[in-house]
Structure 1
Amino acid sequence: MTTTTATPPERATPDAAPRRGRRIAAWVSIGLALLVIGGIGGAVSAANQWAQRDALDPDSTGPGGTRALAEILRDHGVDVQVARDRTAAAEALATGPATLVLPDAPALSDEALAELVAGAADIVLIEPRARTLELLLPGSAPAGVAPVAPIAPGCDVEDAARAGAVSPGAVYSAGDATGCYPDGDAFGLLVDSSDGGRVAAIDARPLFANEHLTENGNAALAVNLMGRHPLVVWYVPGLGDTDLADTTPSIGDLTPPWVSAVIVLLLVAGIAAGIWRGRRFGPLVAERLPVTVRASETTEGRARLYARAGDPLHAADRLRIGALRRIAALLGLAANAAAPEIADAAAGRTGLDRRAVRGTLIDDIPRGDADLVALSTRLRDLEDAVRAAVRPERNPR
């Protein structure tokens, strides 16, 4: 018979406030983690920018800098002045005959570049690009990279002949200039002398950087090319030193192309997470059912379902699972102990035949209701035997 009892709804559990506090703490932790990740990313990006900025910088002592070459020039009596804007470079060049060391300057227009080099007696291009070569050495252009092995000068330029063989790195087509260090139809050094001045172009990264200056004839070649005059003006261009209009970089210009897509994806994921977690208006409240069903009725109903399905093996499995769980608890085994382990432990504790115990708990397959009833009886007897072996009754005194 079914009994119904009306029970008042339960109030919110008293630990709702701590749960709400834990959720707030979780979101705060996520925010702090994002800030830390962003800070780390910014630091890595800044480190990469400084590493790039140090390349061929005459004040840098890093592997890619050229501080060693600047000091060698000073030891040879050459005054090396580092100019980090074109105004300072032009003022230094105006003091007398000087050599202008010019890296790639993409922030300068063609007119500003021509105005800068006009005051120099000699020009040494240490990072020649196609535009710079076309402006200062017409007909020349980049032509690939030479092999790593040293190459002899192979030209009549005295500065190269005295320096000897080097590994030039990038090579260029000569055009109207004189080419040295040949690699096929291209050359590692271009020299054009006219109107009492000279323009030379060479890839300085594998030759004049601190980590490579002592190799082959690199140092001698650098001093021969740059030390022809008592003053060397080493121009180090920056993004702020420009005459181009609208050159202020935007956030999109300073970030890789994939960053925008990742930001959009993160926003969509954040909105989806907010909808997912925000659909609840408060913590879940546990509420009792208004009807109480006795355990015997639940058991009988499930038994009728098994009987109607005509599947004694499934019913036997349910009986065995319950028996195994109870026997394991009696024997002090772990909750996740395997069925063979429980069967062996039960046989050892009760002294029963091991095969018979394994058949009862695992192997025997019931073919019908009679076999199922017999199996149920054996399971009950085995459980009673284990209980008696584990908890024997004390003899009364």
Structure 2
Amino acid sequence: MSPVADGTVLGDGTTAAGRARGRWRRWRWVVGIAGVLAIGVGISLLPAPTRSVVPLAPDNAGADGAMAVANVLREQGVEITYVRGAAQARAAATAGTTLLVTSDWWLTPEQSATVTGTAADLVLLDPYTLLTDAVPGLETGWSGGASATSLPAACTDPDAEAAGSITGSGSGVVARDATGAATDAPDGTTLCFPLPGTEPQAYLTSTSEVDGRRVTVLGDAGLLTNARVAEDGNAALVLRTLGRNPHLVWYVPSSTDTSVEAAAPGLGDLLPPTARVLLWQALVVLLAVVVWRGRRLGRVVVERLPVVVRSAETTRGRGRLYRTSRSYGHAAAALRAGVADRCARLLGLPRTAAAPDVITAVARAAHRDEREVADLLYGPPPTSDAGLETLARRLDQLESEVHPT
């Protein structure tokens, strides 16, 4: 029996082409969902990536990663344990090991106490609040070079002498007493690589003996990155610092880790790796169906708000939240962004002007040094109410000195 032609009328009054189009309209969404799920299954079966994009991670091959240092350390026989949680770092950082903490922005006070309470040697990269807990008497500096410059060693530390000179920038560390005044470094502390033009003198690295263990502070996290580790003696300093012990715990804090206790295995840990991908694919399909069916509900009706919130109330509310949570960094960033934006508009700069252009224009208009302006507008965040108040007063003074030329 020969196949029915498309134009042939069947017994029910339809044609083969018309019946095929009807079946396609009824089943096309099923075919679409099946296709999306098939794509998801195919993606889940692909091998997992071996490299990440996490800054300063030992498996990140990008410019901001540290895979080059990690590979060299492994070739030298150093065992590296890469962790993202404070509980895992505490469990792995035992006596005779080195604990590297790449940042302390995400650490809670409990997590900071956990990190500083281990028996391992500590290596802190550009610390903020963790420095005071680890080495009482040292604080993060307020000044520093805007760009990386060659810094010669100015101490007798063997690691610093082996490096000779390094290419670095950053705020460094300074020694202060309980009143905040500059003082001598604590006993057992060696300060190296002074940053030029800083007052009080800030040092890019410091090494301290605290409770029988070694605490090393590198004031510039860029020394570890793939982009800058080969400059000057950066590699020598970093490799000697991290390779001192046969076991290195590489701790990159995560914003999702807020506990100091190891979490019990959950349902997600018991499922196979492909289950999570399939779940996301099912969620995408569900959202697509919701959008598809929701189009029949008509246009969205715009309704006027019953209450108008004044902008001043919003500003005061956000300020109270910053003060309650002690978010000095966020408050300082808002102040600096406002001053930089207003000064740029006053000087006729476009909204897309880069930071160096803003610094140069403001310094010329206010008759100030560019490094001082860069420190005010783009320097490190304050760490106390007094520091935030001082920064606000200095920013207000700088803005008052800016006049269009």
| TM-score, normalised by the number of residues in structure 2 | 0.45
Higher helix share: 1
TM-score by length of 1: 0.45
Highest CA radius of gyration, 1 or 2? 1
